Amino acid sequence: MIEPTQLKQLLRESEADRVERTRAVADTDKFCQAICAFANDLPDHRLPGYLVIGVDDKGEPTGASITDELLRTLAHHRDNGQIIPQPMMNVAKLEIDGNAIAVVEVFPSTLPPVRYKGVTYIRTGPRKGIATQEEERRLSERRIDRAKTWDARACPEATLDDLSLPLFELTYLPNAVARDVLAENKRTTEDQLAALRLWDTRSDRPTNAAILLFAKDCLSFFPGAYAQYVRYDGSSLASEVLGESRITGDLLSVMRELDQLANRISEHRPVRQSDLSDTTVFAFPPIALHELFMNAVIHRNYEDSTTPIMINHFSDRLEIHNPGSLFGDLTRELFPRGTAYRNPVVAEAAKVLGFVNRFGRGIAIANDELQRNSNPLVEFDIGDNHLAAIVRERP
């Protein structure tokens, strides 16, 4: 986080485009628009921007009450799924001239353009506004230079003809981009895809994420991009197989079928209570399975694996085996409290399509549901090239 003396200097520069001053302490839209604009970093400063709460237009502290609740609310904007992709930011309370202020430090995104409620906000000089088509194009081209994740890179063998455009235009686009922006949208399909990190303008090809999400035949590009479910009549792989299914198709279809699978195998039953009423319990709570299945889709390694997600259903437990171990800076010591996205564009798609409500909360939600249903918490087996989540059946 910036030092108070450095921030004070920035606040005194009336034309600084790396700082936004506000008296307001409760204006979610204004705060999120500023965070989005700094994350897009249209001037290409490659330096953080600062939303400073509790100062006037000249940068003087107003004496506003900076509470812990305000700081928690500001930090919540990172993970609530309204700003996509997730911004990298810090929140802190600082003091200037003996007065408390709240500061949100926002770092430039490596996956621009960044949107808030489907709208791309940018900042140039003192102006904050909605990006034009040309400004969005500049942000998209900048992403190509900086893209580090596999799902944001071009798929070298693919063309526009490999995509199911109705699936993109009718299902994804209306959920990803604000309605008023779409109403005035005169952009080509390629420009629309590029603005959502789904088209590489330099090579003129779809990104790997676009193939996962919209390809007519995803498996011809990524043979392991499916899920295999097997139910066993016992507690080991040597047990007789009672049934199996293979879940394939575009990622929307895969996530939808996994959601149906979670409900189908949860096995609810009534349990009589002491007051003679009945309550419903599950062998496996469906919300917990939903969260773990979505985690598997989002975090698995698609790049160099032909292995599918394996869901093994035994007589006493469910095992979800995922190709690829922990990603990036996420260590065994930090897991599962920390989050590092191997496939941030795929994670964004899961949020846009309604399969994920918030970022980084899947395992916590699963454990909450398991506890409520009297199941043991999720167990994890972390290997060098795989990660397994083990869910024990309710006793």
What does the pLDDT look like over 236-253, one tens digit per residue?
Answer: 999 999 999 999 999 999
Of all residues in the chain, the percent with pLDDT exceeding 90 is 62
Pairing of strands 278-282, 268-272: antiparallel
- At residue 252, the pLDDT reads 92
Residues 6 or more apart whose Cβ sits within 8 Å of residue 36: 83, 87, 114, 115, 116, 119, 120, 121
What strand order describes the sheet that includes 19-22? 19-22, 49-53, 99-107, 88-96
Residue, of 40 and 16, whose pLDDT is higher:
40
Spatial CA neighbour of 191 closest among 141, 235, 234, 122:
141
| Mean pLDDT of all residues in 256-277 | 84
Whether 288 has a pLDDT exceeding 80, the answer reads yes
Q: Measured between alpha carbons, how far is 113 from 121 in angstroms, rounded to an integer? A: 9
Lowest mean pLDDT among 5-14, 114-123, 374-383: 5-14
Q: Measured between alpha carbons, how far is 137 from 192 in angstroms, rounded to an integer? A: 10
| DSSP code string of 208-266 | HHHHHHHBTTGGGT-TT-SEEEEEESSSSTTSPEEEEEEE-SSHHHHHHHHHHHHHHSS
Other CB atoms closer than 10 Å to residue 322's CB: what's the count? 23
Whether 317 has a pLDDT exceeding 80, the answer reads yes
- At residue 146, the pLDDT reads 66
Lowest mean pLDDT among 52-56, 178-182, 310-314: 178-182
User: In the chain, what are the domains?
Assistant: 4-129 (3.30.950.30), 147-220 (no CATH), 227-392 (3.30.565.60)
- Residue 276: is it exposed, middle or buried by C-beta count within 10 angstroms (0-12/13-18/19+)? exposed
Residue type at 287?
A: I
What does the pLDDT look like over 166-183, one tens digit per residue?
Answer: 999 999 999 998 888 877
- Return contacts of 353-357, CB within 8 angstroms, 24+ apart: 353/171, 353/172, 353/175, 353/252, 353/255, 354/175, 355/255, 355/259, 355/294, 356/81, 356/294, 356/298, 357/81
- At residue 15, the pLDDT reads 59
Whether 152 has a pLDDT exceeding 70, the answer reads yes
Lowest mean pLDDT among 68-77, 267-276, 378-387: 267-276
pTM of the model: 0.79
Whether 74 has a pLDDT exceeding 90, the answer reads yes
